[in-house]
Amino acid sequence: MEVTGSPTIRDADADADADALILVDSADRSVGSMSKARCHEGSGVLHRAFSVFILNEAGEVLLQQRAAGKRLWPRYWSNSCCSHPRLGESLEEATRRRLREELNLVCELQFVYKFEYRAQYDATGAEHELCSVYVGRTAEEARPNVAEIEALRWVAPVTLQREMADPDAARFTPWFVLEWRRLWEEHRPLLLDGRPSSRPVD
């Protein structure tokens, strides 16, 4: 099921290029701050980030198509919500804020794991993030912020798994592919029936 954008939700400039993001080392220790724009220039500078996967009562995963105006990976399909905590903001605060700003949703989230990755989009921009991955469930209707999101769709996990394996399927962001692979391989019970995995988290 695809959901179109709502013109009633406006971007509060919450993820502007001037926002100060938190620079970290590979152990997630803060080592300073830098503007969002500079963090994503060239090959990228390692900074703290998060990705959220939202499921509905039918067990479907909410995917978003990034807006055409995005600097990196415009119009690619990705997970429900992803962003960065600002300087002085906790991950808990940042995830709540961005769910409201991007999707007009409020729901409880479960931390699942953390990982570092780097992905190059073009010669001028990249992602280099230490990313915390969360899963949540909601019975509410998501209403996308059209400044951030081109479209939404709900998809069953098994269907998404097949799409990920199909080279002719929709284009997906690189972090989404990495995150989904690990969720599917290591935390599948959490996706399919809400049970936490017996595997330890990072």
**By the 8 A CB rule, do 144 and 62 touch?**
no
Q: What is the pLDDT along the chain (202 residues), one digit of tens a residue?
A: 444 444 333 333 344 667 899 999 999 999 999 999 999 999 999 999 999 999 999 999 999 999 999 999 999 999 999 999 999 999 999 999 999 999 999 999 999 999 999 999 999 899 999 999 999 999 999 999 999 999 999 999 999 999 998 877 779 999 999 999 999 999 999 998 876 554 444 4
In the prediction, which pLDDT does 39 show? Answer: 96
Domain boundaries, given as residue ranges, for the chain? 2-10+19-191
In the prediction, which pLDDT does 169 show? Answer: 72
129 among known catalytic residues: yes
3-state secondary structure 28-72: CCEEEEEEHHHHCECCCCCEEEEEEEEECCCCCEEEEEECCCCCC
Distances (CA, A) of 71 to 16, 27, 44, 169: 11, 28, 13, 22
As a whole number of angstroms, the distance between CA 164 and CA 177 comes to: 7
pTM: 0.88
- CATH homologous superfamily for the domain 2-10+19-191: Nucleoside Triphosphate Pyrophosphohydrolase (3.90.79.10)
Residue of 81, 82, 131, 179 marked catalytic = 82
Residue of 129, 148, 150, 179 marked catalytic = 129
| H and E: helices and strands count for the chain | 5, 10
**By the 8 A CB rule, do 131 and 52 touch?**
no
82 among known catalytic residues: yes
Contact partners, residue 63, CB within 8 Å, separation at least 6: 77, 78, 79, 80, 152, 153, 154, 155, 160
